[in-house]
Amino acid sequence: MTHEFIDLPTVAHVEGAVRLPGSKSISNRILLLSALSQGDVAIVDLLASDDTAVMLAALRALGVQWTEEKTASGTIHHVKGVAGVLPNKSADLFMGNAGTAIRPLTAALAVIGGDYTLHGVPRMHERPIGDLVDALNAAGTDVEYTGNPGFPPLHIKQGKIHARRLSVRGDVSSQFLTALLMVAPLMAREHAIAIDVVGELISKPYIEITLNLIRRFGVKVEQNGWESFTIEPGQVYQSPGTIHVEGDASSASYFLAAGAIAGGPVRVEGVGKDSIQGDVRFAAALEQMGVRITMGDNWIEARSNGVLKAIDADFNHIPDAAMTIAVAALYADGTSTLRNIASWRVKETDRIAAMATELRKVGAIVEEGPDYIKVTPPAVITPATIDTYDDHRMAMCFSLVSLDGAARKGNVMRINDPKCVGKTFPEYFAAFAAIAK
């Protein structure tokens, strides 16, 4: 899309089926694991988006060979694994605003060593990475900040790993622990490596994705609850041959919420009850709000069951999908409270502040705290122009405010900078229009 805004007409009813794009979290993890493994990997249904393009470009700059094959049923990416030895010992890598790319890649490059610089868009230089760098440098890597301490851009040089135990904070971003887990086999050449989590670990389902994929690539991780993880020495990532990327469960949330708000049924295809993604638990949150949910192995369906019930719940485990609940709360029968969402503040934008600002534009009464948001719906939703803060999830969430046309036929919601959805779902607005009746 080249427009600077998109106008969404009011829609009274939605129904249909949506084939989801691949999961961003799974796609970028699989790309790095494939690159580090022994053997060639065929990746089916890799997400095509800004964040995966950043990772693919970085791998190519590091000398990892990959090709893309178009087939009748989709795309297959063929990656030639380098068995933990990167062909290019120096590179200047632009990481955009892709947290799922810069954090694991920083860890991998720091452990492998070389002469690498990593930088991104201005917002990336405001997103914390200090806890990860501290853990790595304490283990013997040589990573330095070339801007503000604690944040990218970074310069990585050759270090020498000496530690047998690492510790990392778990309460800012689960991506720090994900990064260390993914590179632990590279550190555990001669002796076991243990990783201790300091404080409460947030977003545990994302760590479950990481562990699941590490095991798919042939490495065993011993787990002591959520407090520590141990990788025995001498393990090497092995190609699983062919690996499929699940549909993106976070992206599913917008369509399921649409079905909940405006009739349905709406079915998403590509995730289901067998998913390795924690964000499928979003469906349970909708059920708490009174929505009828049905689920198969590879699909989930939502349909309205009357006015949504207000919700008061802890969303620490599904922070990205929880944003969709904040907008669905506009259609509830009272005040909804989303708790334990401090990680929103260090995402693509400060999502608590952004959500509060934009929800107020459409008439909601909003109270925001350091780690919670309370949303009281208006009697009638007011059409407004929504700012998106270069945050894909803000744009996708607020598309839902065009639903439920009874009270305001003919009114239009305007979404500024809709192309920001390219980060995870370039075709989002076309898919959304397809279910609008």
C-alpha atoms less than 13 angstroms from C-alpha of 138 in its C-beta half-sphere? 14
- What are the percentages of helix, strand and coil residues in the chain, rounded to 5? 35, 25, 35
The one catalytic residue among 131, 248, 320, 404:
320
Cβ proximity of 305 and 290 under 8 Å: yes
320 is catalytic: yes
- Residue at 118: amino acid letter: L
- Residue at 166: amino acid letter: L
Cβ proximity of 246 and 276 under 8 Å: yes
Instruction: Let me know how long the chain is.
Output: 437
Q: What is the dihedral of CA 22, 26, 28, 30, to 10 degrees?
A: -110
Over its C-alpha atoms, the chain yields an Rg (Å, rounded) of: 22
Cβ proximity of 277 and 25 under 8 Å: yes
Cβ proximity of 123 and 392 under 8 Å: no
Matching residue, tokens 């779902």: 425
Q: Which two tokens stand for residue 80?
A: 């030639």
Matching residue, tokens 């929505």: 291
- Residue at 160: amino acid letter: K
Cα 398 to Cα 4, 78, 89, 223, 335: the distances in Å are 16, 36, 44, 39, 18
- Indicate if the alpha-carbon torsion angle 431, 345, 154, 82 is positive or negative: negative
Matching residue, tokens 């349970």: 284
Residue 347, sorted as left (phi over 0), alpha (psi -120 to 50) or beta, turns out to be beta
Q: Which two tokens stand for residue 118?
A: 């990593």
Residue numbers annotated as active site:
320
